[in-house]
Amino acid sequence: MTLAALDITFDPSDRAEPWRFAPVAGPDPARCVIGRTPEEAERLLPRVFNLCGGAHGAAAAAALGRDAGPDAVAARLAVARQERIRDHALAVLHDWPTLFGLEPDRAALGRIGGGAADRRALAQHLASGDPDLAAASAADLDAWIDEGASPAARVLARLRQAAEPLIGRAELPSPTRTDFAAALHDGAPPMPRETTILDGWREAPLVAALLAREGASLVTRFVARLLDLLAGLIDAPDPAPVPAASPGLGRAWAARGLLAHQARVENGVVTAYHVLSPSAWNLAPGGLLTRVLTALPIGPNTPMLARIAIASVNPCVPVRLRVETPEGALHA
Any known ligand binding at 316? yes
Non-local (6+) Cβ contacts of 6 within 8 A are 21, 22, 23, 24, 283, 289, 315, 317, 318, 319, 320
Residue 308 neighbours by CB distance under 10 Å:
23
- Alpha-carbon distances, residue 218 vs 154, 198, 273, 313, 324 (angstroms): 15, 11, 35, 9, 24
Any known ligand binding at 269? no
Nearest to residue 59, comparing CAs of 198, 197, 189, 245?
245
Length of the chain (residues): 332
Task: Calculate helix-pair angle for 302-313, 218-233, nearest 10 degrees.
Answer: 40
Helices (H) and strands (E) in the chain, counts: 14, 7
The annotation places the binding site for Mg(2+) at 275
The annotation places the binding site for Ni(2+) at 316
The annotation places the binding site at 275, 316
